[in-house]
Amino acid sequence: MRNTWRRGRTSETAAALTVDEAVRALARGESTTFQRLVGELTSRPDTPGWTVAADHCLADRLRRGITSAWQRGWQPADLVRFTTRRHTPRHARLSTDAIADEMRLYSPGTVDDRWHEQLAALQADVWWPDDGPHTSHWCRREGVDHAVYVTCAIDLIHLLETLPKLPPVTLPPGAGKPGGSETGRASNNADTDETSTRRPRPGRDTSSGSQGEGRRAEADQRILGRVRALLAKAESTEFPEEAEALSARAQELMARHSIDQALLAAETGDMGGPDGRRIAVDSPYDAPKAVLLTVVAEANHCRAIWHRELGFSTVLGFPADLAAVEILFTSLLVQGTSAMVHAGPRRDARGRSRTRSFRHAFLNAYAVRIGERLRGAADRAAAGAGGKDLLPVLAARDQAVDQAVDTMFPNLAKGRAGSVSNYEGWVAGRAAADLASLNGRSEVTGAFRGP
């Protein structure tokens, strides 16, 4: 019995050392050494129980890597999205399984509701039998051999262990569900490439532990459900006038709800604090898409910080405003992308493709013009919506958002828009923006239409 136990311990120790060597070889770019070590981890006939021990070490290292990611401020959706960006969808599926495995360590009551939503959207479930090894089931599902699993696992371990720190926008699992926003108390260790343009403003807050919070949350979901339905119709209709009317109604619902909640919070003294969420900014043309998100955030009294290398932005603001930003950005991006594709490819006089420069200029111009329309509309909406009673409320919430940004990103660099080289694309983009159905706060009051 003792010899069997020792052999088991020896196999696990040797496997752990081999995994360490493989991760280091990958980090150093030593492909020949890496492939040799993958072969060793896949099979070592002279060592009893080797495959089981190696798979156990890989699973344990993945689990610890996921835990480390949470401690570094990452969320499930961020992690899977970044894995896809750096590797392949297969790697992303393995990361989803690793997340599901790691989340079994926590009681559901200690996990933030937004985490539960992300896990559900990712379908991060333990789909393999509890009493069986994940590896064999994963290989069967993917239709690959064991060596592919080992390679993907080591790739993912290296990625997890080299993630940059992010200021957390929610409590990590195991810390309990928050009674209020943690954004203002977040870590300021943000060693990624972040850029921002200045100017936020808030709308309302739902951070309360009372039964009133539950009723407000239900009302929020009803409003957002109606907004999403209206925007879905606006995006799918072939008639611009109908899209404009549907989007205007959506804007009206969002703005009135946000302003009402801001005034209610001021009356009750329940100002709460700003919150945050991360929104994907995907390639291609990620720079102009980040500009579009920034101008939408500014018009909705929020701030967007672009993590250039990570494929997303952190948006800070009050909850209703954050919901509006995500919905409106998505809708405007759909409209802009559709108009860009409809414009077709471009070639110069010599027949060389100019499509990429055209589309880059198109989306940049689209974002800039949308920003102009939103800013003008938002200023007039704020002036007409609540008068003098609303101005102190907005100013206080502005200050709270600014303070949260300064706390979370003390070394924030103010970004500059890149240059464009295709005049035709720029003109077409501005024209598309003029035709787009705005989802900004301005049109929403019903007092006017956007410029």
**Is 307:409 a contact under the CB 8 Å cutoff?**
no
Residue 339 sits at φ, ψ, to 5 deg, of -65, -40
| CB contact set of 142 (below 8 Å; sequence gap of 6+) | 90, 93, 148, 149
Rounded Cα distance between 69 and 367, Å, is 33
Query: What size, in residues, is the chain?
Result: 451
Q: What is the pLDDT of residue 1?
A: 39
Q: What is the pLDDT of residue 3?
A: 45
Q: What is the pLDDT of residue 16?
A: 95
CA quadruple 407, 408, 412, 415: dihedral sign: negative
Q: In terms of Cα–Cα distance, which of 27, 21, 18, 26 is closest to 54?
A: 18
Rounded Cα distance between 327 and 312, Å, is 15
Three-state DSSP state, 411: coil
Rounded Cα distance between 266 and 254, Å, is 18
Q: In terms of Cα–Cα distance, which of 335, 268, 275, 281 is closest to 301?
A: 275
Q: In terms of Cα–Cα distance, which of 412, 398, 396, 406 is closest to 184?
A: 406
Three-state DSSP state, 353: strand
The one-letter amino acid code at 95 reads S
Token pair 């329940």: residue? 270
Tens of pLDDT, residue by residue, the chain (451 residues): 344 434 445 888 999 999 999 999 999 999 999 999 999 999 998 888 899 999 999 999 999 999 999 999 999 999 999 999 999 999 999 999 999 999 999 999 999 999 999 999 999 999 999 777 899 999 999 999 999 999 999 999 999 999 999 999 999 998 866 544 444 333 333 444 555 533 333 333 334 444 556 666 777 778 888 888 888 887 887 766 676 566 656 666 776 677 777 777 777 777 578 999 999 999 899 999 999 999 889 888 899 999 989 999 999 999 888 988 898 899 888 888 887 888 778 776 666 777 788 888 888 888 888 777 777 666 666 666 655 567 788 788 888 999 999 999 998 876 655 554 554 554 455 555 555 655 433 332 222 233 3
The one-letter amino acid code at 85 reads R
Question: pTM for this one?
Answer: 0.78
Token pair 């933030």: residue? 112
DSSP string, 144-197: --HHHHHHHHHHHHHHHHTPPP---SSPPTTS---SS--GGG------S-EEE-
Here the tokens at position 86 are 């750096």
State pLDDT tens for residues 249-302: 666 677 667 777 777 777 777 757 899 999 999 989 999 999 999 988 988 889
Q: Which residues pair with 442 in a beta bridge?
A: none
Task: Indicate left, alpha or beta for 176 from its phi (over 0: left) and psi (-120 to 50: alpha).
Answer: left
DSSP state, 116? Answer: H
**Is 324:439 a contact under the CB 8 Å cutoff?**
yes
Q: Please write down the HEC assignment for all residues of 254-319.
A: HHHHHHHHHHHHHHHCCCCCCEEEEEECCCCCHHHHHHHHHHHHHHCCCEEEEECCCCEEEEEECH
Q: What is the pLDDT of residue 99?
A: 98
